[in-house]
A = this chain, B = another copy of it.
Amino acid sequence: MDMELSGTKNFLRHINNPHLAPIQRIQSTLLHEMQSFAREQGFVQLMPIMMSPFTDPLNHDVYPAEIQYRTVPLKLTASMIFHKQLALIRQDIDRIFIVSPNIRLEKPENKTSKNHLLEFSQFDIEMRDAGMEDVMVFLESLLVEVFRRLESSVTEELSILGRSLPRLKAPFPRYSSDDLRERYGEDFYRLISEQTTVPCFVTNFKREFYDREDPERPGTYRNFDLIYPQGYGEALSGAEREYLYDDILRRMKELGMNLEAYANYLDVARQGLLPRTAGAGIGIQRLVKFICGKQNIAEVCLFDRSVASDFVF
């Protein structure tokens, strides 16, 4: 029982932290402003799903998160990337967003990370017949407008936290990862975040098969990250998607992926039914951490789901 007692003590200390209420209020208002802005721009909100025969393979290694329903093995949602594509098969819905819980059972090497959670929520968007530039422009206007609205709607909460929101201005600078790597070395990501005073886009990462390889410039990828300034690190990832059967197959084979697990998805692609889309997923807790000026993402969660969590509740 001693361990539990010390666990609840830690939990009670955390939940009674005076900053936690203003942070939750800011998060609540943020969710309202993001959803409202997306609706104003014609986005339709879809419901999240949490389990499916397949999910995002991710670009980094995590422990599997799987259950079984009767005889069906199901993966817990790492992201809704494929389901966003499939939802846009319909021609009469163009733009979607989902407040989507993601489960990513990080390996212990991320135990000291102040930017990773074992479960978090994404503000996940996807647009039909759009390119990466369309998505970047939407994200810029979303963040600029949401920050502007927050300044007047959560003034008191920000002041309790001693935080002045940076005034954002579109367009955000855009860099290519090649240029940055050449200039700053492999650690460019951290360096850029620490040195910049405005959010900036970094384009062209070789990663998951579903981020589109530029057909004009093989080896170049039509994807991007947004990086927060002041050392807050990664904000979001986005991309144009591979949607042509031959391209998907080639990319999956390059990465040595198990095609069988994607049989139904490939079947839809082979019929030429996957829509041309682009999208992104904004980590909500990371955005809250940035808005609230907190160093550790665990500080913005009511229930600690950081990699070092003791899972009291």
Contacts and interface: CB of A to CB of B under 8 A. Distances in A.
A46 B21 contact: no
Given A28-B46, A46-B24, A311-B74, A105 B302 contact: no
B101 A52 contact: no
A312 interface: yes
A57 B32 CA distance: 31
Interface of A: 1, 4-5, 7-8, 11-12, 15-16, 20-21, 24-25, 27-28, 31-32, 35-36, 39, 44-54, 63, 65-67, 69-70, 72, 74, 76, 82-83, 86-87, 89-90, 92-93, 99, 101, 103, 105, 108, 118-119, 121, 263-265, 267-268, 271, 273, 284-285, 301-303, 305, 311-313
B89 A16 contact: yes
A27 B47 contact: yes
A90 to B, nearest CB: 6
Given A24-B46, A50-B119, A267-B8, A16 B90 contact: yes
B119 A51 contact: yes
A4 B267 CA distance: 8
Contacts of A28: 39, 44-46
A67 B69 contact: no
B49 A89 contact: no
Given A48-B101, A93-B21, A67 B65 contact: yes
